[in-house]
Structure 1
Amino acid sequence: MNKDRLQKIESAGFVLKPDSPEIKPIFQEIRKLFEERGIRVALAERSAAMIGERGTPFEKMCEESDFLVSLGGDGTLLSLVRRSYPWHKPVVGINAGNLGFLADVTIEEVPIFLDQLFDGRYRIDCRLMIAGHIEKASGAKVEFFALNDVVVSSPIPSKMVIVNASIEEERFNTYRGDGLIISTPTGSTAYNLAAGGPVVYPLTRAFILTPVLAHSLTNQRPLVVPADFAIELDTEKYEAIATIDGQERYEIEEGDRVFISVAKEDARLLHRQERNYFSVLRDKLHWGDRNW
């Protein structure tokens, strides 16, 4: 059982769902709840500008906060985890979106969550992060982190790409199709699931390689490998892009190489103690629902 705990519960840094100024009254009410319990609230500059308030530079907010809060959907949380990764602060997601696999504290549950936080009835899950980089044929290097997945695909929808994949420097497959997903267990319920990949328990230490609409008569199936294996990808013949957590995009040209490995530090997601992953799957995916 993970014994990771918050050192202090005195300050929280908030990031809001982008391009959503209508979220302002919700944030103000949540901020009031935090402050009534003695928790100082800092709001990232970009989010503050969106709702007409003064904010704190993102780096300063991450450095000075005891934990971080995303108010939005899973996309907001993914962005916050990735951007705040160098500070290794626990992140909790308050769900103002729709699906909410990761941002699992509802707006109505915030008072209960705060009570449980001070009572020590919470847990911090350590989630595997991808540490990757792209080595350009020119010699340039682009580094990135991902919590969900890295997807290599064509910049033009439905156009084929050819992706060569190696594990531990040994070539094992060439994928021809719409793309290839390299997913973490956290990301297994995202694009990986839609593409026919397996759902993997989020604390598992593994990578999932899932082809997207393989243009092949051979049996191209998803592959699960231990997370301590280093993965290398390159493309040929066709233009390609690497998309990080569905949010960042990098051009991949012939001669470029994409390297993927497990990050040295895990992401830290703060949850209510009673949160049950299998209940989330049942509720979100309607497993066992005969009326669905």
Structure 2
Amino acid sequence: MPSNKFSSSPVKTIAIVGKPMAAGIGDSLTEIANFLVNAGHKVAFEVETAKNVNVGNAAVLSPEQIGQQADAAIVVGGDGTMLGIARQLAPFNVPLIGINQGRLGFMTDIPVDRMMPVLADMLAGKIESEQRSLLEGEVLRDGVSIFQSVAFNDVVVSRGSGAGMAELRVQVDGHFMYNQRSDGLIVATPTGSTAYALSAGGPLLHPGLGGIAMVPIAPHALSNRPIVLPDSSEIVIEVVNGRDITVNFDMQTFASVQLHDCVVVRRSRHVVTFLHPLGWSYFNTLREKLHWHEYPSAEGKLK
């Protein structure tokens, strides 16, 4: 596993990535940048993020340049913002710190109203570090790869909104698993188990678990249930029947597929490193985001 830039050397250059054109985000970005500069760090803004703020003397870098030059990246926004930059920075193993200015915040876990004291502690070395797996996938047509991408959450093969059910033939490690008629199939990482896969009835997977969840979307046969596979598995999904079938990666990259195209999914060799405040716990995140700490009151309302 590649070494973590954040822990292996003093932090010198920190990139700031923000949700593009988000209302009011410029103030947060400026506050973070000023804090970092005053603490003796070099600051760089991601090129789209720079459009939201007066960058001053800070560098403006592409995601690839951030990967090559930054020791860490602070991501301000929601989980979608984190997904987008994490997929691009994964090959460079730049550790990511997430500040939540979105709605849910499974991955951007630091509240924006507490970000300054938390960042001060983290940059002083008071951190928890964890690594998350990714998936890579490709579309094969007549045995030739025509599309490739990576996913942090999930790879989803699904029917068009106006089409009937899709019929998919699934193999795992060269072994026939089943023919499935459904609205589609989700192949999710442990991180993605709290996203679309969860809404489709899939299981929660701890991010430290080496597994891949395969979750059918509205299957025709109720016996088609979610299954967790080893993360060493190679999954091949052949489109047997259906119209307007697409494959998407984290709902950010899409490709249209035809009958008898195969979508091949496996674990990526890259990982994403998250940095959290000292004392962070995945179970704390689940309790907060899934409201496990709330109980019905006598009036039937959550409290």
Q: 221, 225, 229: which is aligned to 2:225?
A: 221
Residue in structure 2 matched with residue 256 of structure 1 by the alignment: 261
Does structure 2 retain, via aligned residues, the 8 Å contact 1:72–1:95?
A: yes
For 1:247 and 1:214, the matched residues in 2 are separated by 24
Greater shift in the superposed pair: 105-114 or 73-82: 105-114
Cα offset, 1:38, TM superposition: 1.4
Q: Does residue 117 of structure 2 align to residue 115 of structure 1?
A: no
TM-score, structure 1 as length reference:
0.92
Residue in structure 1 matched with residue 299 of structure 2 by the alignment: none
Cα offset, 1:62, TM superposition: 2.1
SS at match of 2:241: coil
Deviations 1:78-119 (CA, angstroms, capped at 9, x unpaired): 111001122111111111111101100122332222332233
Q: 199, 204, 209: which is aligned to 2:209?
A: 204
Residue in structure 2 matched with residue 29 of structure 1 by the alignment: 31
For 1:145 and 1:47, the matched residues in 2 are separated by 23
Does structure 2 retain, via aligned residues, the 8 Å contact 1:49–1:55?
A: no
Q: How many residues matched?
A: 289
Residue in structure 2 matched with residue 232 of structure 1 by the alignment: 236
Does structure 1 retain, via aligned residues, the 8 Å contact 2:18–2:76?
A: yes
For 2:206 and 2:129, the matched residues in 1 are separated by 16
Q: Superposition RMSD on alpha carbons, in Å? A: 1.9
Counterparts of 1:1-292 in structure 2 under 5 Å?
5-20=7-22, 22-51=24-53, 55-137=60-142, 139-156=144-161, 159-216=164-221, 218-238=222-242, 239-291=244-296, 292=302
Percent same amino acid among aligned pairs?
A: 28
Cα offset, 1:275, TM superposition: 1.0
Does structure 1 retain, via aligned residues, the 8 Å contact 2:13–2:42?
A: yes
SS at match of 2:68: helix
Matched letter for residue 39 of structure 2:
R
Mark the runs of 5 or more structure 2 residues left unpaired by the alignment. Answer: 297-301
Deviation beyond 4 Å, 4+ runs, structure 1? 50-54
For 2:280 and 2:8, the matched residues in 1 are separated by 18
SS at match of 2:48: helix
For 2:19 and 2:91, the matched residues in 1 are separated by 21
Cα offset, 1:61, TM superposition: 2.2
For 1:147 and 1:100, the matched residues in 2 are separated by 15
For 1:262 and 1:138, the matched residues in 2 are separated by 20
For 1:270 and 1:6, the matched residues in 2 are separated by 14
Greater shift in the superposed pair: 182-191 or 155-164: 155-164
Q: Cα–Cα, structure 1 residues 156 and 287, in superposed 2: closer, same or farther, change >3 Å?
A: same
SS at match of 1:109: helix
